[in-house]
């Protein structure tokens, strides 16, 4: 990735208005660097200061905010304190102007809209919470959330939290098997779902998928269904319960359960490279603190502003945008369906119509936007945007500059956001206080002790690629893995003793900006040099020879490791041996002779998750005839079949290019 000159810098007037400037002033700190130093040295001070700044007061105050008697792997947060997330998401807004402010604005692919105020969300949350209690659901029970992005998904999340139960968000595109795996592992007692969702003009069933999964789930006692097609009967079984009946039955008001501050509120599974998915555990104080830090302090979302991020509850961004908007008194704009249907300009229409101020995206989605005319974003009034956020995977410079030029219009920043489900959010982040270079992050978030190290844990100098680690536990970190403490320690803390290894490759440049270069298990070692796949893929996409690429390293009997490229050409009919030679020559010229790929395959699509992450490990598995591992996050399984066929045909023909 090019370390070109800065392309954006906030002016003094903009900086002065940021929440981060107010926080620095309140703490008597000169700049972000001082904050980072003090927070990493004394994380307890930092988290306590953050809670105080955002006026977060627990119903029973904590005695110690951070204790580590068992080491950094098992910290104790907010010891002896009691609270509930809902107190700070909904109840704190009562008797304030926010109470009548829109909490959620929703729009479907046909342009139909709904709007709910904070008061309306709170009322429906309380009704659903009473209904859940009437079913015998209690504090500590796990409830699956298998729903599309509609207003009721936020109400369900809040209602589960209100009674002290544990929310388990599930990807809305899951089939029966991944649902069974997660619901069985968690021993979920209930699932909240809908009869169907809508995407690209099609009805996609959801209740029937849960019904099939339920046949294998003895622990599942209740399926609560929101029926969206009122004229279509939903098959009824003894464990079924209708959403409308549940919330419209008059019951006594439900008080918000007072929970230990570090009690679990969310169980979120993240796919493993091999074996079963990992259940990450997030708590009331952790979800509150981490969202205030990431979205309130760093990304600068303010009360009455509007955030839109076309995500899914099965990706960490889904719960994050619901919770952070409510904590901060902002409006969440959610659009059910695809971002480019019924027309490729749907996102830009939504921004103009709903006056979105903060837009979230992922680099792969931007590369898909680039296939359409660059004039599209310019046809709409995007002046309401103050910033954009990107997460999920590394950028390539060509896509970053396209988005910066045509969507940000060189006026507003792209705030990169890098972390993981296990972290509850970001390790690296962009802020208004950091100037921009293409693809770069501004800095680590405070209170993590983030560093870039070699395999032995020694810090690396600027310019060298290494493992991204945290030396300090963050309040947002998972509290182990569900029912598997040994796997937790092995996965994150034992590769380098007493240091959290995130599994990402990173580099810091001479100006102090940070870059993510891909997953460390995707690392390719060529001629003795470790290289992140994003660097090679970026060179390919920027060449305009192909639209997309996934690059993996494969074992080689002679060189130890060789490069294989799976490419999506602009036109499959033009995917021939000549194009392969052009790709080979381009990489050798741009990156060096050792980067000349040994194998090149052309396909119509790459295996991806719903949030557009490229599944390189599955590409590697196909090309090495290895097991695929956990495939539940894969949104387009047909891509694996196509790659297998392409690979098999190449082997049959003896083709090596």
List pLDDT tens digits, range 160-202.
999 999 999 998 988 898 899 999 999 999 999 999 999 999 9
**What is the share, in percent, of the chain residues with pLDDT greater than 90?**
75
**Helix, strand, coil % over all residues of the chain, rounded to 5:** 35, 25, 40
One fold for 115-260 and 523-653:
no
Of 525 and 481, the one with more pLDDT: 481
Report which of 187, 145, 271, 192 is spatially closest to residue 635, judged by C-alpha positions: 271
Question: Could you tell me the sign of the dihedral formed by the alpha carbons of 361, 609, 350, 300, in that order?
Answer: negative
pLDDT of residue 553: 87
Report which of 436, 353, 447 is spatially closest to residue 389, judged by C-alpha positions: 436
pLDDT of residue 1: 41
Structure token digits, residue 532: 């992140």
Please report which confidence band the pLDDT of residue 275 belongs to, taking 50, 70 and 90 as the band edges.
Answer: low
Of 561 and 129, the one with more pLDDT: 129
Q: DSSP class of residue 256?
A: P
Task: Give yes or no for a contact between 45 and 65, defined as CB atoms under 8 angstroms apart.
Answer: no
Report which of 318, 335, 383, 325 is spatially closest to residue 357, judged by C-alpha positions: 383
Please report which confidence band the pLDDT of residue 631 belongs to, taking 50, 70 and 90 as the band edges.
Answer: confident
Structure token digits, residue 570: 């602009």
Instruction: Please give the Cα distance from 430 to 418 (Å, whole number).
Output: 9
Structure token digits, residue 4: 């070109």
Tell me: pLDDT of 558 over 90.
no
pLDDT of residue 531: 72
DSSP state string for 166-228: EEEE--TT--HHHHHHHHHHHT-SEEEEESEEEETTEEEE-HHHHHHHHTT-SS--EEEEE-S
Instruction: Please give the Cα distance from 417 to 410 (Å, whole number).
Output: 19
pLDDT of residue 555: 80
DSSP state string for 381-411: --TT--EEEEESS---HHHHHHHHHHTSTTT
Instruction: Please give the Cα distance from 444 to 4 (Å, whole number).
Output: 21
Q: Mean pLDDT for the chain?
A: 92
pLDDT of residue 657: 44
pLDDT tens digits, one per residue of 404-452: 999 999 999 999 999 989 999 999 999 999 999 999 999 999 999 999 9
Q: Is 136 helix (H, G, I), strand (E, B) or coil?
A: coil
Residue 577, C-beta contacts closer than 8 angstroms, at least 6 positions apart? 657
Task: Give yes or no for a contact between 412 and 440, defined as CB atoms under 8 angstroms apart.
Answer: no
Q: What is the CA radius of gyration of the chain?
A: 24
pLDDT tens digits, one per residue of 39-94: 999 999 999 999 999 999 999 999 999 999 999 999 999 999 999 999 999 999 99
The CATH architecture that domain 115-260 belongs to is 3-Layer(aba) Sandwich (3.40)
Tell me: pLDDT of 274 over 60.
no
The CATH number that domain 523-653 falls under is 3.30.300.30
Of 253 and 355, the one with more pLDDT: 355
Task: Give yes or no for a contact between 305 and 330, defined as CB atoms under 8 angstroms apart.
Answer: yes
Cis ω for the linkage preceding 342 (within 30 of 0):
yes
pLDDT of residue 52: 98
- The whole-number average pLDDT for the span 494-522 is 90
Q: DSSP class of residue 5?
A: -
pTM: 0.86
Burial of 119 (0-12, 13-18, 19+ CB in 10 A): middle
Q: DSSP class of residue 57?
A: -
Task: Give yes or no for a contact between 549 and 568, defined as CB atoms under 8 angstroms apart.
Answer: yes
Please report which confidence band the pLDDT of residue 644 belongs to, taking 50, 70 and 90 as the band edges.
Answer: very high
- Exposure letters 586-609 (e unless 16+ CB within 10 A, then b): bbeeebeebbbbebbbbbeebbbb
Tell me: pLDDT of 656 over 80.
no
Domain limits, the chain = 115-260, 523-653
- The whole-number average pLDDT for the span 376-384 is 97
Q: DSSP class of residue 377?
A: G
């Amino acid at each position: 990735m090019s370390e070109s000159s800065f392309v954006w810098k906030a002016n003094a007037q903009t900086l002065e208005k940021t929440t981060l400037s107010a926080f620095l002033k309140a703490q008597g700190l000169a700049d972000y660097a001082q904050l980072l130093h003090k927070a990493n040295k004394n994380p307890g001070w930092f988290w306590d200061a953050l809670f105080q700044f955002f006026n977060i007061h627990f119903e029973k105050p904590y005695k110690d905010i951070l204790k580590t008697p068992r080491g950094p792997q098992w910290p104790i947060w907010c010891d002896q304190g009691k609270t509930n997330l809902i107190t700070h998401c909904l109840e704190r807004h009562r008797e304030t102007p926010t109470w009548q402010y829109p909490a959620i604005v929703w729009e479907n692919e046909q342009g139909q809209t709904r709007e709910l105020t904070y008061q309306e969300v709170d009322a429906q949350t309380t009704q659903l919470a009473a209904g859940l209690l009437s079913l015998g659901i209690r504090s500590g029970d796990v409830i699956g959330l298998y729903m599309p992005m509609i207003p009721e998904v936020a109400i369900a999340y809040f209602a589960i939290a209100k009674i002290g139960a544990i929310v388990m968000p599930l990807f809305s595109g899951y089939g029966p098997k991944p649902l069974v795996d997660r619901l069985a592992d968690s021993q979920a007692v209930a699932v909240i779902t809908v009869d169907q969702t809508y995407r690209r003009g099609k009805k996609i069933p959801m209740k029937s998928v849960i019904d099939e999964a339920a046949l294998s789930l003895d622990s599942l006692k209740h399926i609560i269904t929101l029926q969206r097609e009122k004229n279509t009967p939903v098959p009824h079984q003894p464990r079924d319960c209708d959403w409308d009946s549940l919330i419209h039955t008059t019951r006594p008001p439900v008080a918000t359960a007072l929970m230990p501050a570090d009690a679990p509120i969310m169980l979120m599974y993240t796919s493993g490279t091999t074996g079963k998915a990992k259940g990450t555990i997030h708590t009331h104080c952790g979800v509150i603190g981490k969202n205030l830090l990431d979205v309130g302090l760093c990304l600068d979302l303010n009360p009455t502003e509007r955030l839109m991020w076309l995500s899914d509850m099965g990706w960490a961004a889904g719960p994050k945008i619901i919770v952070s908007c409510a904590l901060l008194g902002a409006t969440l704009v959610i659009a059910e369906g695809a971002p480019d249907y019924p027309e490729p300009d749907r996102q830009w229409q939504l921004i103009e119509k709903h006056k979105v101020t903060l837009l979230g995206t992922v680099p792969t989605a931007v590369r898909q936007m680039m296939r359409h005319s660059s004039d599209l974003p310019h046809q709409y009034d995007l002046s309401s945007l103050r910033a954009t956020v990107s997460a999920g995977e590394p950028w390539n410079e060509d896509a970053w500059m396209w988005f910066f030029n045509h969507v940000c219009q060189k006026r507003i920043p792209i705030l990169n956001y890098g972390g993981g489900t296990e972290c509850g959010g970001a390790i690296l982040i962009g802020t208004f206080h950091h100037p921009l270079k293409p693809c770069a992050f501004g800095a680590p978030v405070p209170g993590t002790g983030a560093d870039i190290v070699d395999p032995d844990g020694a810090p690396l100098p600027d310019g060298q690629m290494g493992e991204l680690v945290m030396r300090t536990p963050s309040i947002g970190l998972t509290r182990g893995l569900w029912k598997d403490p040994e796997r937790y320690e092995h996965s994150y803390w034992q590769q380098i003793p007493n240091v959290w290894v995130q599994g990402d490759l990173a580099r810091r440049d001479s100006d102090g900006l940070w870059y993510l270069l891909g997953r460390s298990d995707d690392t390719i070692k060529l001629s003795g040099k470790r290289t992140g796949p994003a660097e090679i893929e970026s060179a390919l996409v920027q060449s305009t020879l192909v639209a997309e690429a996934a690059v993996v390293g494969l074992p080689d009997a002679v060189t130890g490791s060789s490069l294989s490229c799976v490419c999506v050409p602009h036109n499959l009919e033009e995917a021939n041996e000549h194009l392969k030679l052009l790709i080979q020559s381009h990489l050798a010229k741009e990156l060096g002779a050792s980067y000349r790929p040994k194998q090149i395959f052309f396909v119509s699509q790459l295996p991806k998750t719903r949030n557009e992450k490229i599944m390189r490990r599955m590409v590697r598995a196909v090309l090495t005839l290895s097991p695929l591992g956990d495939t539940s996050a894969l949104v387009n399984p047909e891509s694996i079949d196509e790659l297998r066929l392409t690979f098999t045909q190449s082997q049959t023909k003896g083709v090596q290019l």
